[in-house]
Structure formats: structure tokens, C-alpha cells
């Protein structure tokens, strides 16, 4: 064992990390952690005002630089443009974190909206955002990794990928597809380009954020809904996750500490996926 190497596993100096959906609750925390480990970090999101606010909250006493770039993960032209901008400013992307995603109320069954009536455009939006919104960035930034024969991709799956939750069929199916795609791309990159390109995913449990607050808390009282209470009851650790809970596994998966790990999906869920409910 080389002690110096061991101690520098989480030093990303000189590396460029891109976080899609980096202005979101989980993406911004991941971006902040990468910056804290000395990476140059670029937040890709649609709302540039929000992305700027996120960057302003980042610590200033770090080696790396933080920047934002406009990008829509469903629009290849904007991703290609972002790639060019990042290459000019920072060099090629070494670490891609695909954190853009989420569910939408219009693709969620309600007492007055049955599965049979869920609108096509809502189903398509959620399916596309979560699956194509990961595949397209992997095409654009993964191509650069393939050319350089190195790089790390981290996708964001969900508990829905293992067993679907009620009410959100498009989101559940798309996240299951993310697990499958993570394995597929891991094999494809290792066999066709380089074993030094790794592709993994985290599967967060339940974290209250913009995209699921309407399901987990009552909008008037702020109290947990019956669904929110059920989530906590089915989480052996008895609480929701906090964004910081994701950081250990995330940094491990994008660092050389996991050099022999590819195609893995790591639950970060307080035990939710291990619990039968009895």
C-alpha cells in the first residue's frame, strides 16, 4: 500500500467535474463537495439565476473554481455548446454527475387523476427527463472520455428502480431504466474504449426536495403527508436523508478509491431497500 496515494484519493486537484441539475437540492450539494475536494466544478442547469445563487454559497477558500453553464439535458445542441465552453475554460470533463431529473405532479396519479388518464405529454416528459436526460449527457461528455480513454460517470437512480413506489409510474420505470443503462454503459465503455472509464450510480432513498415536496409534505401545514409518514416508517433509520448523506458514496464512486468498481448502483437510503416492512 502506498500511503501517499491512499491519502490523496479524494484530492481532485486539476480535475473538471460537471454536475447536471447542479442548481437542484442534491446536485448542488454534490457540486459543493467536489469543489471542497479541489475539483473545478461546473454546474449545468437551465435556470442560470438559480445556478449563480448556488455558486455564491459555495466556500471560497478552495483550490478549485466553480462555474455555471446553461444546458438542457434533453437538448443535444445545448449540451454540445456546454461541452465546448467547458473545454475552453477548464479542459475536458473528467467527472460527469447526472443529477438532473425528478418527478412531476402531472405524471402522478391523484384521487381525481387515474393512471388511465395520465396525460401523454406528462408521461413523456418524466420518462425523457430521467432516462434520455442521462443518456444524452453520457453521449456528449462520454465521447470525450472515450477519446481520452479515461473518465468517471455517476448516474442518479432511486428506490423506485428496485421496487416501484405507488402513484409515479413514469418516474419509477425511468429510474429502473437508469440502473439498466448504468450497467450497459459500464460494460460498453470498459470493453470498447477503456477500463479506465467507469460508470456507476447512486440510488438515494428519500430526501425532501423541489421535485417531491408535493408528495411528502402538506403544502399548507408543512406536516408530513400519509405517504411521507409511511416513508419514514419504512426507513429503518427512521428519518429522511439529508443531502450530505449522499457525499461519502458519491466521492468514493468518482474517486480512484473505487478504481475496480463499475456498473454498480449503491443505495443510500437509511436501510429502506433492505427492509421488508415486517
Ligand X SMILES: NC(=O)c1ccc[n+]([C@@H]2O[C@H](COP(=O)([O-])OP(=O)(O)OC[C@H]3O[C@@H](n4cnc5c(N)ncnc54)[C@H](OP(=O)(O)O)[C@@H]3O)[C@@H](O)[C@H]2O)c1
Judge contact between 198 and 258, C-beta under 8 A: yes
171 is catalytic: yes
Judge contact between 213 and 228, C-beta under 8 A: no
Q: Could you report how far apart the first and last alpha carbons of the chain are, in Å? A: 44
* 158 sits near ligand X (criterion: CB under 6 A): yes
Of the candidate residues 154, 156, 215, 249, the single one contacting ligand X (CB under 6 A): 156
| Residues written for the chain | 278
Judge contact between 156 and 178, C-beta under 8 A: yes
* 46 sits near ligand X (criterion: CB under 6 A): yes
Is 26 or 37 the residue whose CB approaches ligand X more closely? 26
> Residue 266: in which H helix or E strand, if any?
strand 265-268
Is 71 or 151 the residue whose CB approaches ligand X more closely? 71
Within positions 86 to 145, which residues make up the interface with ligand X, using CB under 6 A? 99-102, 129, 133
| CA 137/CA 74 separation, integer angstroms | 9
Is 36 or 133 the residue whose CB approaches ligand X more closely? 133
In the bound complex, what is the minimum distance in angstroms from residue 61's beta carbon to ligand X? 25
Is 16 or 98 the residue whose CB approaches ligand X more closely? 98
> Residue 19: in which H helix or E strand, if any?
strand 16-20
Is 19 or 193 the residue whose CB approaches ligand X more closely? 19
* 182 sits near ligand X (criterion: CB under 6 A): no
* 268 sits near ligand X (criterion: CB under 6 A): no
Of the candidate residues 94, 207, 245, 250, the single one contacting ligand X (CB under 6 A): 207
Of the candidate residues 25, 95, 97, 153, the single one contacting ligand X (CB under 6 A): 25
| CA 180/CA 165 separation, integer angstroms | 18
**Binding-site string for ligand X from residue 71 to residue 90, where x marks contact by CB under 6 A and - marks none:** xxxx----------------
Angle, helices 25-36 vs 48-57, to 10°: value is 40
Within positions 218 to 257, which residues make up the interface with ligand X, using CB under 6 A? none
- Residue 267 three-state SS: strand
Is 40 or 172 the residue whose CB approaches ligand X more closely? 172
Q: What's phi and psi for 66, nearest 5 deg?
A: -115, 140
In the bound complex, what is the minimum distance in angstroms from residue 33's beta carbon to ligand X? 14
Beta strands (DSSP E) in 109-195 are 151-156
Q: What angle do CA 203, 207, 45 make, to 5 degrees?
A: 80
Beta strands (DSSP E) in 26-131 are 40-45, 66-70, 95-98
The one segment of 4-12, 110-118, 199-207, 254-262 that binds ligand X by CB under 6 A: 199-207
Catalytic entry in 90, 171, 193, 207: 171
| CA 276/CA 278 separation, integer angstroms | 5
The one segment of 4-12, 66-74, 84-92, 141-149 that binds ligand X by CB under 6 A: 66-74
Catalytic residues: 171
Binding residues vs ligand X (CB under 6 A): 20-21, 23-27, 45-47, 71-74, 99-102, 129, 133, 156, 158, 204, 206-207, 209-212
Amino acid at each position: 500500500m502506498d500511503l501517499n496515494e491512499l491519502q490523496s484519493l479524494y484530492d481532485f486537484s486539476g480535475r473538471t467535474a460537471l454536475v447536471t441539475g447542479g442548481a437542484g437540492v442534491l446536485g448542488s450539494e454534490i457540486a459543493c463537495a467536489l469543489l471542497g475536494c479541489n475539483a473545478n466544478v461546473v454546474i449545468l442547469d437551465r435556470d442560470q439565476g438559480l445556478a449563480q445563487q448556488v455558486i455564491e454559497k459555495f466556500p471560497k477558500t478552495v483550490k478549485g473554481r466553480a462555474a455555471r453553464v446553461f444546458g438542457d439535458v434533453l437538448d443535444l445542441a445545448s449540451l454540445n455548446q456546454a461541452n465546448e465552453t467547458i473545454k475552453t475554460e477548464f479542459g475536458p470533463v473528467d467527472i460527469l454527475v447526472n443529477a438532473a431529473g425528478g418527478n412531476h405532479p402531472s405524471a402522478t396519479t391523484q384521487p381525481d387523476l387515474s393512471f388511465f388518464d395520465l396525460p401523454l405529454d406528462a408521461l413523456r416528459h418524466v420518462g425523457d427527463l430521467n432516462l434520455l436526460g442521462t443518456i444524452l449527457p453520457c453521449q456528449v461528455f462520454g465521447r470525450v472520455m472515450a477519446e481520452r480513454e479515461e473518465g468517471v460517470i455517476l448516474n442518479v437512480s432511486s428506490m423506485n428502480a428496485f421496487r416501484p413506489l405507488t402513484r409515479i409510474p413514469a418516474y419509477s420505470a425511468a429510474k429502473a431504466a437508469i440502473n439498466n443503462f448504468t450497467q450497459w454503459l459500464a460494460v460498453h465503455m470498459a470493453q470498447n474504449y477503456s477500463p479506465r472509464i467507469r460508470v456507476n450510480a447512486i440510488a438515494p432513498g428519500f430526501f425532501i426536495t423541489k421535485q417531491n415536496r408535493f408528495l411528502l409534505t402538506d403544502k399548507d401545514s408543512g406536516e408530513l403527508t400519509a405517504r411521507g409518514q409511511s416513508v419514514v416508517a419504512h426507513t429503518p433509520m427512521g428519518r429522511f436523508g439529508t443531502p450530505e448523506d449522499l457525499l461519502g458514496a458519491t466521492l468514493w464512486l468518482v474517486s480512484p478509491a473505487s478504481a475496480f468498481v463499475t456498473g454498480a448502483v449503491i443505495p443510500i437510503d437509511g436501510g429502506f431497500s433492505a427492509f421488508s416492512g415486517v
